[in-house]
Chains A and B, each alone.
Chain A
Amino acid sequence: MDFDFSPLLDSWRFLASGLGLTILLSIAAVITSFVLGLAVALGRLYGPAWLRAMLVFYIDSMRAIPVFVVLVWIYFAVPIISGYTFAPFWAALTGITIHVAAYVAEIIRAGLTSIRKGQIQAGLAIGMSTPQILRHILLPQAIVRMLPAFGSVISVTIKDTAIAAVIAVPELMRQAETVAGQTYRPIEIFTTVMVIYFLIIFPITRLVDRFYIRVAYLGRS
């Protein structure tokens, strides 16, 4: 079997634009997932009973439905129901966010509840209010403890962006499919894509782990 990498050279700009969109979608999805996940976690821990029940249902649903289905549903079903059409990029961002945020919410909730009661009491004893304790005592420690789990979430989120290819978001995977289809060189193209994903994600998870080892003592009460 001979390999021909010339299609890669010919269409590198096309693929690079896909990579750029993958990175943009990844960064956006990580940020929105963490913001939404934090809000969901706080609502589930401190909200009124009706809100907690709704959020539990949301979290359970998202854990039971593939992100692929969520994304396709938002892109193809929501416009019919609501009359509002998402551009592919925004549909992908929305779908990935509401899916990943459910996992982030559970991680944050577990992180917050893992901190011993004595820390809360120490805050109360100097006259702090519950929101002050949450902000100054619980969340900072919880975030440190959650770092390894966050590393996994970041890598899963980046990988999930490849699913956006099915709704024609011109990200890396979509562009690669196009080039592979035109050139009949799937081995070269998809192997390259595989290596690119690896080169993006592997250093991130390694870095997060190393960072965690350095700062773990800050979360150890």
Chain B
Amino acid sequence: MTAFARKNADKPPMLIYDKVRKNYGDFTALDGVSMHVNSGEVVCLIGPSGSGKSTLLRCTNALETIDDGEIRFEGKPLPKSDTETRKVRQRMGMVFQSFELFPHKTALENVAIGLTTVRKMDADEAHKRAMALLAKVGLADKTANYPANLSGGQQQRVAIARALAMEPHVMLFDEPTSALDPETVGEVLNVMRNLADEGMTMIVVTHEMSFARRVANWVVVFERGQLLEQGPPQQIFEAPTTERTREFLSHLGWNG
């Protein structure tokens, strides 16, 4: 490990993964992963496809259940009951690779739906907040559009606003730009960078190495369900300690 001081290292971590295991039948998706995320950090998870990055993210908000080990969020292990799990999920925003906007709702309604159904907020107040969030992601003029009438990048920005509406303590991004046309990747990454600048805690599964290099405070490299190496981006991208990390980065055409 390195002497590099992590952000908010003096405070208890927001998320702690302790020997987390996850199997799908005979396939081991996570093979004893231990790591932590401090509050305010942007942690990028990188590695080849099928290495377990997305699985770890989906275990974090209990979309998948782990088979062994423990995940602690804000000091407490993830709850077992459905009611408590729903409360925890409200404190974690998630952004999916395929956006998953609700096609029968306008952009505004997509952002407001969590507030009106889960929080039972009245529609006027919820729409006011949704409006502000859409403005924040640069879509103040698209509030009445249905997802079918938005570009991929616009849809993903609505999805980010939808997650932010619940005022999460951490944002989980699952390959947020992988399904986008190259020309709209930038607008989504900009929104994410602004969020990071505001101090949002973020875990980002990504293949955008330049984003990881520039925005992440900490980079974790996965391979075959295991944590291959972790460190500050300078170390991972400029002086990786393992040959496998070097190979992975050179496969992506990363040349420092």
A144 within 8 A of partner (CB): yes
B101 to chain A: which residues have CB within 8 Å?
A: 122, 221
Residue from the list A119, A126, A140 in contact with B118, Cβ < 8 A? A126
B165 to chain A: which residues have CB within 8 Å?
A: 126
Q: CA–CA, A115 to B82, complex, Å?
A: 23
> Of all chain A residues, which has the CB nearest B165?
A126
B252 within 8 A of partner (CB): no
A220 within 8 A of partner (CB): yes
Given contacts A124-B89, A127-B87, A220-B148, contact A140 B104 (CB under 8 A): yes
Given contacts A118-B96, A220-B103, contact A126 B89 (CB under 8 A): yes
Q: CA–CA, A2 to B106, complex, Å?
A: 62
Asked whether B86 lies within 8 Å of A125 as measured between CB atoms, the reply is no
A74 within 8 A of partner (CB): no
Asked whether B118 lies within 8 Å of A219 as measured between CB atoms, the reply is no
What sequence of 0s and 1s flags, for each residue 204-219 of chain A, a beta carbon within 8 Å of any chain B beta carbon?
Answer: 0000000000000111
B82 to chain A: which residues have CB within 8 Å?
A: 129
Q: Give min CB distance, B26 to chain A, whole Å.
A: 22
Q: CA–CA, A119 to B101, complex, Å?
A: 8
In this complex, the member of B61, B117, B148 whose beta carbon has the largest number of chain A beta carbons within 10 angstroms is B117
A residues 144-166 in Cβ contact with B at 8 Å? 144
Q: CA–CA, A124 to B159, complex, Å?
A: 14
Q: CA–CA, A129 to B85, complex, Å?
A: 10
Asked whether B100 lies within 8 Å of A126 as measured between CB atoms, the reply is no
A63 within 8 A of partner (CB): no
Asked whether B98 lies within 8 Å of A118 as measured between CB atoms, the reply is yes
Give the B interface residue count (CB, 8 A).
28
Asked whether B103 lies within 8 Å of A141 as measured between CB atoms, the reply is yes
Q: Give min CB distance, A186 to chain B, whole Å.
A: 50
A132 within 8 A of partner (CB): yes
A128 within 8 A of partner (CB): yes
In the complex, which range does the number of interface residues on chain A fall in? 20 to 34
B113 within 8 A of partner (CB): yes
Residue from the list A122, A140, A217 in contact with B148, Cβ < 8 A? A217
A137 within 8 A of partner (CB): yes
Asked whether A218 lies within 8 Å of B103 as measured between CB atoms, the reply is yes
Q: CA–CA, A144 to B86, complex, Å?
A: 28
> Of all chain A residues, which has the CB nearest B86?
A127
B166 to chain A: which residues have CB within 8 Å?
A: 126-127
Asked whether B114 lies within 8 Å of A127 as measured between CB atoms, the reply is yes
> Of all chain B residues, which has the CB nearest A115?
B103
B206 within 8 A of partner (CB): no
B213 to chain A: which residues have CB within 8 Å?
A: none
B104 to chain A: which residues have CB within 8 Å?
A: 140-141, 144, 218-219
B118 to chain A: which residues have CB within 8 Å?
A: 126-128, 132
Q: CA–CA, A119 to B162, complex, Å?
A: 13
Given contacts A217-B146, A217-B148, A220-B148, contact A128 B114 (CB under 8 A): yes
Q: CA–CA, A140 to B104, complex, Å?
A: 7
Asked whether B90 lies within 8 Å of A122 as measured between CB atoms, the reply is no
Asked whether A125 lies within 8 Å of B146 as measured between CB atoms, the reply is no
What sequence of 0s and 1s flags, for each residue 77-102 of chain B, a beta carbon within 8 Å of any chain A beta carbon?
Answer: 00000100011011011101010111
A132 to chain B: which residues have CB within 8 Å?
A: 117-118
A6 within 8 A of partner (CB): no
Mark A residues whose CB is within 8 Å of B.
Answer: 118-119, 121-122, 124-129, 132, 136-137, 140-141, 144, 217-221
Mark B residues whose CB is within 8 Å of A.
Answer: 61, 63, 82, 86-87, 89-90, 92-94, 96, 98, 100-104, 113-114, 117-118, 146, 148, 159, 162-163, 165-166
| Minimum-distance CB pairs A-B, first 10 | A122-B100, A126-B114, A127-B90, A125-B94, A217-B148, A218-B104, A118-B100, A127-B118, A127-B89, A127-B86
The contact sample of 14 A-B pairs, CB cut-off 8 A, is A118-B100, A121-B63, A124-B63, A126-B93, A126-B114, A126-B118, A126-B162, A126-B165, A126-B166, A127-B90, A129-B86, A141-B102, A141-B103, A218-B148
Instruction: Kindly list 8 other residue pairs between chains A and B, CB separation below 8 angstroms, not including A125-B92, A129-B82.
Output: A126-B89, A126-B166, A127-B86, A127-B118, A140-B104, A141-B103, A218-B104, A218-B146
